[in-house]
Amino acid sequence: PKIKQSTGTRVMYALYFLLVTIICVIMMSPTVPFYNEMCQKLNAGENCKTLVGYSAVYKVCFGMSCFFFFFCILTIRVNNSTGWRAVVHNGFWLLKFIALVMCCAGGFFLPEQETFLEVWRYVGAVCGFIFLLIQLMLLVEFAHRWNTNWSSGVKYNRLWYAALAFVTLLLFTAAVGAIVFMAVFYTDPEACLYNKIFLAINGSLCLIVSLLAISPFIQKLQPTSGLLQPGVISVYVMYLTFSAFTSKPKEMVERNGVNTTVCVFPLNSGTESDKKIVTAVGTVILFGCVLYSCLTSTTRRSSAALRVCRNSEPETEVNTLIFNDYDEEKTGSGQNVVYDEREGTVYSYAYFHFVFFLGSLYVMMTVTNWFHYDNHKIEKLLDGSWSVFWIKMASSWVCLFLYMWTLIAPMVCPKRFEA
């Protein structure tokens, strides 16, 4: 099938990113099949240990982040696909793959590795949190776009209003159901004080932003504001809250002389195979979220929406994403390529690589369990740690703050909403 040049380029970089991420997961899993056999055949001995663990992941991700950061610098202010820098960005895939492998391998030969690991840990934490902010901003932007698109359809077909009402009701039902579920299974009269406090705080904040979204004052500033956006935000905040509760170290309470684990979902499937399945699903979800954020945030429309106090990009830019008659088409054996960037770039090349740079460090920190990296394995991806708990809880508050900011932004940045 036909493929646009801009789409094919982003897919190739995403495949590079996914390949290195899979290698990092393997490095964090000493139980990977054939690992010991491979070390014996290579006669690596003790050196084989340097290929696993959090330090190996740090070095590999350092190489991948350097790869994307180099291309970020190289493609600054590239506005068309005819220059040599654009040609390098859109081609030479074998040479770039070799360069990526060399960057990842070069991390194992860095001097003063203890100092490097200590410094790179904090660099990764900062950049990973910035990537998390981009994810949250994309969610808020997606909620506003969804409501605007469906609300505009009401003028032509009243069924859009019914669909809008149904989805809104479904979202709030899911949010309320999540609150009830967590109140039943993740609170306890004798323990889990944090769970009770933060569940009440997040539930109250979701109610406040919902009432704020439909208040007459906000409706006057933003006529398209409705309950769909706070519904989306509430569901995601409840997901982050639930994820934070499950990431917190387990609490024990002595009852009838027996130590009992509380504030956990009472599953009877505690076998090792079930745990591996859960870990695999969690890892796939991690990959999906990172790739979606990397690819979605680099479109013109999404990247413009991330700049809250700037005039949004005109809708006519979307036309560059559509197949045009004058686009040159490469036919014959192999892939048919539609050159959709002859008139200008569809997305910002530099920003694209910068997001992948941040995504590389986010994967590094997530796979190694952020600051609790000692003796960590990928099989313990879903095990509890306080650092993961606070990061996810803080993310829920940032998400609510970003949405509240978009509601009051017309007062602070009126030029953005003049149209």
Whether 399 and 236 have beta carbons less than 8 Å apart is answered as yes
Task: Show me where the domains of the chain are located.
Answer: 145-297+383-418
pLDDT the model gives residue 170: 94
pLDDT the model gives residue 23: 85
pLDDT the model gives residue 281: 54
Whether 336 and 3 have beta carbons less than 8 Å apart is answered as yes
**Residue 216: both structure tokens together:** 């007459």
Q: Comparing C-alpha atoms, which of 168, 172, 158, 163 is closest to residue 226?
A: 168
CB contact set of 284 (below 8 Å; sequence gap of 6+): none
DSSP assignments along 170-233, one per residue? HHHHHHHHHHHHHHHHS-BTTB-HHHHHHHHHHHHHHHHHHHHHTSHHHHHH-TT--SHHHHHH
Per-residue pLDDT tens, the chain, 419 aa: give them: 677 777 788 888 988 988 998 888 877 765 555 556 666 665 655 566 666 677 888 889 999 999 999 999 998 888 877 788 888 988 888 999 999 999 988 888 888 778 888 888 888 888 888 888 887 787 787 788 888 887 777 777 778 888 888 999 999 999 999 999 998 888 888 878 888 999 999 999 999 999 988 888 888 877 777 788 899 899 989 988 888 887 777 777 777 777 777 777 665 444 444 445 445 555 566 666 666 666 665 565 555 544 444 444 433 333 333 334 334 445 555 667 677 677 777 788 888 899 889 888 888 887 887 765 555 555 455 555 677 788 888 888 988 998 888 888 777 766 655 54
Pairing of strands 329-330, 251-255: unpaired
